[in-house]
Structure 1
Amino acid sequence: MKDTPTAQVDELYSPQRMIAFGLQHVLVMAASPIAAVFLMSKALGFDAALTTQLLSATFLVCGIGTLLQSFGPAGIGAKLPFVMLPGGAPIILFILIAQQTDLPTASGAVILSALLYFLIVPIFKRFLRYFPALVIGIMLLLVAINLAQISGKLIAGTPGTANFGDTDNLLLALITIVATVLFARLLKGMCRQLAILLGLVVGALAAALMGDISLSGVGSGPLLALPSPFPFGPPNFDLIAALPLLLFTLISMVEATGQTIALNEVLGKEDEAEQQAQVPNTIRGDGLASLLGGIFGTSLIITSGENIGIIRATQVRSRYVTAVGGLFLILFGLLSPLSALISVIPAAVIGATGLVVFAIVGTMGIDMLRKVDLRSHSAMYVVATALAIGLLPIVVPGIYDQLPSQLRLLLSNGVAMGALTAAVLNYLFIHVGQRSPKTAPLHHS
């Protein structure tokens, strides 16, 4: 097989490498399903048994979704090294719907939203040509900033709480980041590619030495955790109640477009038509994984931008590696002691690891924007305006809280708003009227 980025997508490594690289993907992103379930549990008053069941179901569905995206059977999944995770915004919307109505209605809203993915794809793919490198570059920058903010909160805690800026957490984050950088600089070969995982392990060991890890509850539960479908009873389908999640589905499609094109860039696939052809498959994979999420009691399960940063950092591009990661997620879902073991890793350690990965995603956005002539008057204003609109809800959380709920839902998603603003302005500046030579590069990927 030729040693090119494109060929490496289908590369098979030795079993030891596959296991190590797959585990790296999972551990770096393990905080997402754990945080999502614990947030639901706290907000909706679930007991310990139901919380454990939902954590198991979330890991299981994320694993199945990751396998779908890695292998892409029957056009469901992009055949790309994606890892699937519960989206932060969908979890919040699930909680709000459940609080306003009931849990069966919230599950019904997830199922309706999952079906909408399949219904909208034929229409949505007609608009993919309006998402060139300029739009995707801006989206990646906003994704990185948004995720970095989340990682920062994992490290520092919530402002206004007693443990905000705790020095132990800051020290753990510093140790994790320094260890990751040192491994990336000093190690060679496979060990260098595992720098992110090794940095996380060093951070966890430091936490154990500092007394910040307790393993007392790891083996207390049952060995096997088999999630049950419809844990809240038969779903109730209410279109009005489901509207917030249905609207987010459209936003999610924009994000999936950016992630698919960005991942193709990392993989060395420069054919724009080939990149866009894979977007509907990514969206259908999101749809089926989300449908399973609705059946097993969680919210939408979608492709994550985090693993794109891991692939860029490690240069391990094989979709079979993420497939192994998917098997690990399924294993964590079925064996409760494993998921309990992951959950004891301090948030500050995972947050520090994520901070490095998300910053790498930001460098990818910068790299894509380098292909655009930003000295052009049009390009300058497209980028500046899109970043302004996208950054506002990220750097000033709650700025739109006084607006009607549906409008607030749209405007508060800085990533989607920045990307949509860039797409609209790119269309107005480039596709309407005469095109000038200086703005032509906005079409190139």
Structure 2
Amino acid sequence: MDIMLILQIIVLLGGIYLGVRLGGMGVGYAGGLGVIVLTLFLGMKTDLSHIPVDVILIIASVIAAITALQVAGGLDYMVQIAEKILRNNPKYINYLGPAVTYFLTILAGTGHTAFSTIPVIVEVAKGQNIKPSAPLALSVVSSQIAITASPISAAVVAMTGVTEKLGVSYPLLLGICIPTTFVGCMITSFIVNKFWDLDLSKDPIYQERLEKGLVAKVDTNVSYKEVSPESKRSLWIFIIGILVTVCYAFSISDNIKLFDKNILGRDSAIMSFMLAIGAIITITCKVETGKLIESSTFKSGMNACICVLGIAWLGNVFVQGHIGEIKDMASHIVTKYPFVLAIALYFVSCLLYSQAATTKVMMPAIAAALGMTMDNNGQVWILVASFAAASGLFILPTYPTVLGAIAMDDTGTTRVGKYIFNHSFIVPGTLAVFFSVLLGFIVAPMLIG
């Protein structure tokens, strides 16, 4: 290993570390700074092909539709439905919490919808004398893993861009990812519910906070605000729009071919359909367009776009600069030990802060390293089976939904340990990823092979 490579690795890891320390859009800022250092001072090259433009545009268009939904009141209505499900079945919070956040992410294409359910999960868990840390960890992790199964997420779109060229269609990819990830999350919920110490009253930190009056009383008189016709209408428009988008994406796949994908391809269809959904909601629900950019959804979406722009660009510059060495190493290791790819995705995702960025950086490089083509695609199942492992965003307790869960749990059971990595999310999250990948390794070769 020469000195130049060592310096390049230092800049790569340094940029990621700086981004994590800055948080939020700082992740993207640090990535851009790293690109400058790698190219102008350390001899690496870059061009526009290294920027994940398709991923960024998918995120932006999906967020545009959800923003209109939020301003019209449809997002609050959807959350209210989820809240009723959780409150009406409190004993099953360790199962329903992650199931609700999983399907909210499937529908919305972003895990940030979990924010809205966190206070409800805390309230319901306290009412059942269950440590909120258990359902919160399960729910936050499920919302992240569901990104790798959502038909409109940027990660799935990026993955499809790789796998379709290797003979795995969009419907087949979803047909593998949705059941394996959901069942993986539910198996983890069963293990936590069965073997974890969930008795809230025995937690010393909770007792200490209770004595100091830092724990809010459980509100048993929950009232729901009246839902306006516009709120209901906007949610139905959004759901129907998602279904139409997914059906169209299915219809242009190579197995079905109802429409010519050369006229309106899958990526373009998702982007244009999402913008159209936003337009229909805005028109029919009388949304004030001036309020759109003020919404929390729009702000979180813009944050995500900048993060992916900077950090994925930085990662791509490094990967493409050493693609030859990566191919040589991966062709030997991944072929012999397929599970190594899942381990790599798991740790890379916590550094790149995004499933989409991880997919965009890693999957094409690994596919190329293994010499995969449409005629030589016998190992493509390894990519599909390992895909869920790109959800290790919880490893560092700095991801927004992780921080939100810690901050909103007034019992103190959801916390970061002395050694940073021994936090409430690490074990449930790792188990959920493990079972999702394990099921993928069973199902993917059966359906693809």
TM-score under structure 1 normalisation?
0.26
Q: Which has the higher contact order (CA 8 A, sep 6+)?
A: 1
TM-score under structure 2 normalisation?
0.26
